């Protein structure tokens, strides 16, 4: 700061008298009108929107072996995912899935910052869809701002209500689709058309529709700024080599307008023409030129905007670009940045992720689609039956998690002369469980008084080598 | 809802709850704005807009940046207070006040039961109008019966229905009250109370009890002392009113047949002596109110099928 300037400020301070102002701790939201943008990253985001939404809206309509391909049947406690049927006993897979999601998030964030937020997060995806509808109905940024300032007129009412109706339609369809993952969607749609939905179906459809409408239509960047926990703890996963959307201030500053093809040296200004396009396109309403901010969702709309402006003024692209903190401070080349991707942190995340993913799929592939629980009858200890045999009673809970019925043979082992007094052949229907009483006998004197370890075994009689073994206790009375 | 012995505590709880909620509201309102000293000669609005801190200073020189929260967020805080008040009006929460909805966990349980009955009732009602033997042939009814049995009966009769000491085996043909399907249904519906009186005092001596016990064993051809049995026969008149002069029992009152080798409490001489001397008391609970007739119907058919082959029976018809 120059000496003259300093003196001026000091004088201003001396003249100023302290006064009391009221600071509000809560502020009304300022509406953001993001400008439409096209470019590499906008295209990439639309590709993500199409991909995720085709899967989301389409998947429940597909069938697999005469049932819905993906269905989470909460009432029956069975999750159908392609050829797989998961039971409550398989809950561990959900935990593993969540761990995989978490580690993927760690990995992607360490490498490229908030890519999830910028391209694939439902909040971003639905906001993108809702903004597209908004543009179609209310027009571009300037038209929308004008409309907002206008007093109420027929045109304003038509446009506004048209927009909300369109939003509500998308939201309702989303709600229906979501509920369609939990209750067969063909029946659901039929019921919806006939207005014969149950109260809980109504509730969840309206709930998810409202959440979609509210979050993508009204809340938008507020969700990312104030509600999303991931947005806040992402900074713990950033390091100096994480790719972030950055403004190259060394190249851009001092900013100011200049004529096209004017040489940088002669104009005494940086490359930034201060057109504020990067601010206008920002869905969270920030100025990226002020550096990395927690509001930035990494959508790269400002990169697309700035690139198009740089093309027009005849300067190289990349005034705003994906770069890293290190690269900015030490003027690294792109190759250097790429080399730093393979740093220990990333390698460790990748290693752990690969390990869990491998374990997850191996475990799923080796999963036995048959489970056996043995519950000893508590009412009686051992009893003596004919020929001096000792008898114990068990209840076998046989769960066939596959979708085809099974013929099984029950075998008991563990003691000399141990036999099964009840039928050893049993059929269990597909995706069902069966409780079966079983009497086991051991000749008197062959086993010690007290409890003896035995085991039950289920052997598949369908030609595949599948058997399940479960431990149990045989009690011989004194 | 007399959880408290003194009415004071109802008031204490209510006041504490309401004052707490009111306090939260006042705190929110009073903390939503703050006066702060700004240097400059702008208007108050401009000064407020330029205020960099909230005016909150602590630990000598630490200040808080002025980054206002969204206003809807504060709305949510007020909403929780409104929610709390509405809740307190509708549901029990203020001392002994029962709430406008008069909600109770016990009635809520009953309502859920009613709902479940409405949903699954028709399934059972379908069988209720069928003959028990016809129900026994139905594989679906059999599966339901098996589940019902494992849930409600197996605690005493065992998963295999073979009973236990003092609890009858349901898989043989020996029935205390009769094995016809309708009788089994009556047994489950209304329960049974089987009582063998203590005969020790009537017989007068341990010797007399021993004599009768040996006679009883002789009826089924079990090992016994023939001389004692002869003496026992003369005293069996005490037992005949229920068990019959021939000892074949009486199914109308549930007196067991003593001429077979099935023993409810055990067939050793010692056990029989104890039974005669001390008597026995057997209780089969009634399930009419608990399960309802329709479920009992399916259950009775299942129990009957344990000792009969329903397929053969229906084919014979």
List residues of chain B with CB under 8 Å from any CB of chain A: 31-41, 44, 47-48, 51, 54-55, 66, 68-74, 146-147, 150, 154-162, 164, 167
**Taking 90 as the threshold, does the pLDDT of residue A130 lie above it?**
yes
**pLDDT at A206 (0 to 100):** 96
Half-sphere exposure at residue B9, Cβ-oriented, CA atoms within 13 angstroms: 7
**pLDDT at B314 (0 to 100):** 59
Tokens describing residue A383: 């009893």
What number is the average pLDDT over the span A112-128? 94
**pLDDT at B9 (0 to 100):** 86
Closest by Cα among A142, A136, A118 to A44: A118
Q: What is the mean pLDDT of chain A?
A: 89
- CA of A394, closest CA in chain B: separation in Å? 7
**pLDDT at A3 (0 to 100):** 44
Phi and psi angles of residue B285, each rounded to the nearest 5 degrees, phi first: -70, 155
What number is the average pLDDT over the span A142-168? 94
Cβ within 8 Å, pair A27-B159: no
Is the Cβ of A422 closer than 8 Å to some Cβ of chain B? yes
Give CA separation, B206 vs B210, B212, B278, B314, in Å.
Answer: 6, 10, 11, 51
**pLDDT at A84 (0 to 100):** 87
**pLDDT at A125 (0 to 100):** 96
Q: How confident is the model at residue A442 (pLDDT cuts 50, 70, 90)?
A: very high
Cβ within 8 Å, pair B36-A393: no
**pLDDT at A49 (0 to 100):** 96
Percent of chain A with pLDDT over 90: 63
Cβ within 8 Å, pair A437-B160: yes
What number is the average pLDDT over the span A26-39? 90
**pLDDT at A357 (0 to 100):** 96
Rg (chain A; Cα; Å): 33
Give CA separation, B23 vs A129, B8, B18, B82, in Å.
Answer: 43, 22, 8, 13
Give the nearest partner residue to A16 out of B32, B39, B150, using CB atoms: B39
Query: Do β-strands B69-70 and A26-27 pair in parallel, antiparallel, or remain unpaired?
Result: parallel
**Taking 90 as the threshold, does the pLDDT of residue B41 lie above it?**
no
Domains defined for chain B, CATH in brackets = 7-32+43-90 (no CATH), 112-191+285-316 (1.10.760.10), 194-284 (1.10.760.10)
Q: What would the pLDDT profile of A208-231 be if each residue is shown by its tens digit?
A: 999 999 999 999 999 999 999 988
Mapping DSSP to helix (H, G, I), strand (E, B) and coil, where does residue B28 land?
A: helix
Q: How confident is the model at residue A269 (pLDDT cuts 50, 70, 90)?
A: confident
Q: What would the pLDDT profile of B46-101 be if each residue is shown by its tens digit?
A: 666 666 777 778 898 888 887 888 889 899 999 999 999 999 999 998 888 888 99
**pLDDT at A24 (0 to 100):** 80
Mapping DSSP to helix (H, G, I), strand (E, B) and coil, where does residue B257 land?
A: coil
Q: Which of B159-163, B219-223, B303-307 has the highest mean pLDDT?
A: B303-307
**pLDDT at A209 (0 to 100):** 97
Percent of chain B with pLDDT over 90: 56
Would you give the DSSP letter of residue A36?
P
Domains defined for chain A, CATH in brackets = 34-367 (no CATH), 370-476 (2.60.40.10)
**Taking 80 as the threshold, does the pLDDT of residue B5 lie above it?**
no
pTM for the full model? 0.78
Cβ within 8 Å, pair A17-B41: yes
Chain A partners of B68 at a C-beta cutoff of 8 Å? 24-27
What number is the average pLDDT over the span A255-269? 72
C-alpha dihedral sign at B26, B28, B29, B33:
positive
**pLDDT at B3 (0 to 100):** 60
Cβ within 8 Å, pair A29-B69: no
Q: Can you tell me the distance from the alpha carbon of A227 to that of B244, in angstroms, rounded to the nearest whole number?
A: 83
C-alpha dihedral sign at A252, A253, A255, A259:
negative
Closest B-chain CA to A394: B159
What number is the average pLDDT over the span B13-34? 92
Cβ within 8 Å, pair B150-A29: no
Half-sphere exposure at residue A402, Cβ-oriented, CA atoms within 13 angstroms: 14
Give CA separation, B159 vs A333, A438, A442, B187, in Å.
Answer: 76, 8, 18, 19
**pLDDT at A386 (0 to 100):** 75
**Taking 50 as the threshold, does the pLDDT of residue A4 lie above it?**
no
**Taking 60 as the threshold, does the pLDDT of residue B127 lie above it?**
yes
Tell me which of B28, B67, B70, B143 to substitute to probe the interface with A (most A C-beta atoms closer than 10 Å): B70
Percent of chain A with pLDDT over 70: 95
Q: Where are the alpha helices (DSSP H) in A244-324?
A: 249-252, 264-267, 277-280, 301-313
Phi and psi angles of residue A454, each rounded to the nearest 5 degrees, phi first: -130, 175
Cβ within 8 Å, pair B69-A439: no
**pLDDT at A14 (0 to 100):** 47
Q: What ipTM was assigned to the predicted interfaces of this complex?
A: 0.71
Is the Cβ of A20 closer than 8 Å to some Cβ of chain B? yes
Cβ within 8 Å, pair B34-A226: no
**pLDDT at B199 (0 to 100):** 92
């Amino acid at each position: 700061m120059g000496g003259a300037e300093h003196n001026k400020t000091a004088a201003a301070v001396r003249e100023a008298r302290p006064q009391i102002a009221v600071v509000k701790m809560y502020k009304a939201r300022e509406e953001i009108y993001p400008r439409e943008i096209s470019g590499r990253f906008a295209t990439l985001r639309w590709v993500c929107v199409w991909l995720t939404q085709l899967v989301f809206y389409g998947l429940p309509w597909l069938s697999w072996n005469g049932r819905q391909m993906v269905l989470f049947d909460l009432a029956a406690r069975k999750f159908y995912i392609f050829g797989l049927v998961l039971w409550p006993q398989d809950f561990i897979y959900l935990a593993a899935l969540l761990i995989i999601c978490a580690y993927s998030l760690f990995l992607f964030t360490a490498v490229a910052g908030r890519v999830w937020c910028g391209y694939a997060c439902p909040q971003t995806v639905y906001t993108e869809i809702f903004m597209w509808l908004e543009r179609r109905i209310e027009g571009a940024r300037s038209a929308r701002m004008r409309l907002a300032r206008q007093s109420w007129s027929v045109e304003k009412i038509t446009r506004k209500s048209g927009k909300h109706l369109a939003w509500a339609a998308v939201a309702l369809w989303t709600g229906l689709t979501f509920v369609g993952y939990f209750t067969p969607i063909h029946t659901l749609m039929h019921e919806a058309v006939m207005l014969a939905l149950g109260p809980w179906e109504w509730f969840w459809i309206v709930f998810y529709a409202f959440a979609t409408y509210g979050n993508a239509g009204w809340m938008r960047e507020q969700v990312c700024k104030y509600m999303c926990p991931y947005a806040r703890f992402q900074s713990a996963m950033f390091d100096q080599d994480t790719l972030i959307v950055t403004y190259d201030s060394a190249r851009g500053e001092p900013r100011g307008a200049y004529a096209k093809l004017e040489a940088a040296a002669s104009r005494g200004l940086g490359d930034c023409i201060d057109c504020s396009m990067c601010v206008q396109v920002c869905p969270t309403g920030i100025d990226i030129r002020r550096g990395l901010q927690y509001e930035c969702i990494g959508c790269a709309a400002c990169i697309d905007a700035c690139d198009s402006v740089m093309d027009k003024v005849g300067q190289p692209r990349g005034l705003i670009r994906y770069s890293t903190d290190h690269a900015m401070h030490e003027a690294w080349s792109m190759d250097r940045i790429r080399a730093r991707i393979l740093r220990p942190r990333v390698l460790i995340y990748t290693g752990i992720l690969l390990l869990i993913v491998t374990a997850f799929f191996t475990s799923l592939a080796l999963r036995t689609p048959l489970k056996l629980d043995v519950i000893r009858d508590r009412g009686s200890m051992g009893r003596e039956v004919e020929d001096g045999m000792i008898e114990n009673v068990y209840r076998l809970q046989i769960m066939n998690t596959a979708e085809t019925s099974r013929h099984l043979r029950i075998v008991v082992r563990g003691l000399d002369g141990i036999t099964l007094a009840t039928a050893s052949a049993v059929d269990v229907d597909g995706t069902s469980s069966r409780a079966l009483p079983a009497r086991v006998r051991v000749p008197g004197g062959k086993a010690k008084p007290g409890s003896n370890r035995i085991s039950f075994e289920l052997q598949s009689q369908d030609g595949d080598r599948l058997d399940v073994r479960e431990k149990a206790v045989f009690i011989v009375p004194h | 809802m007399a959880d408290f012995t003194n009415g004071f505590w109802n008031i204490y709880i209510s006041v504490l709850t309401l004052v707490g909620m009111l306090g939260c509201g006042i705190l929110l309102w009073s903390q939503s704005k703050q006066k702060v000293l700004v240097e400059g000669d702008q208007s108050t609005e401009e000064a407020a807009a330029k205020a960099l801190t909230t005016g909150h200073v602590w630990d000598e020189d630490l200040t808080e940046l002025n980054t206002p929260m969204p206003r809807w967020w504060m709305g949510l805080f007020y909403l929780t207070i409104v929610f709390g008040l509405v809740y307190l009006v509708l549901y029990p929460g203020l001392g002994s006040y029962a709430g406008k909805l008069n909600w109770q966990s016990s009635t809520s349980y009953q309502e859920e039961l009613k709902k479940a009955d409405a949903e699954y009732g028709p399934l059972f009602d379908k069988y209720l109008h069928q003959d028990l033997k016809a129900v026994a042939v139905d594989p679906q009814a059999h599966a339901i019966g098996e589940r019902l049995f494992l849930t409600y009966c197996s605690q005493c009769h065992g998963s295999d229905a073979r009973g236990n000491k003092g609890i009858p085996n349901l898989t043989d043909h020996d029935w205390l009250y009769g094995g016809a399907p309708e009788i089994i249904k009556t047994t489950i519906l209304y329960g049974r109370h089987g009582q063998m009186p203590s005969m020790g005092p009537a017989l007068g001596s341990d010797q007399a009890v021993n004599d009768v016990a040996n006679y009883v064993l002789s009826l089924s051809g079990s090992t016994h002392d023939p001389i004692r049995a002869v003496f026992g026969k003369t005293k069996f008149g005490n037992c005949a009113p229920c068990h019959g002069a021939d000892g074949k029992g009486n199914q109308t009152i549930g007196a067991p047949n003593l001429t077979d080798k099935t023993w409810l409490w055990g067939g050793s001489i010692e056990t029989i002596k104890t039974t005669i001397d001390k008597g026995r008391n057997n209780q089969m609970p009634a399930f009419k109110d608990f399960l309802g007739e329709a479920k009992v119907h399916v259950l009775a058919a299942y129990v009957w099928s344990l000792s009969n082959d329903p397929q053969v029976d229906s084919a014979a018809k």
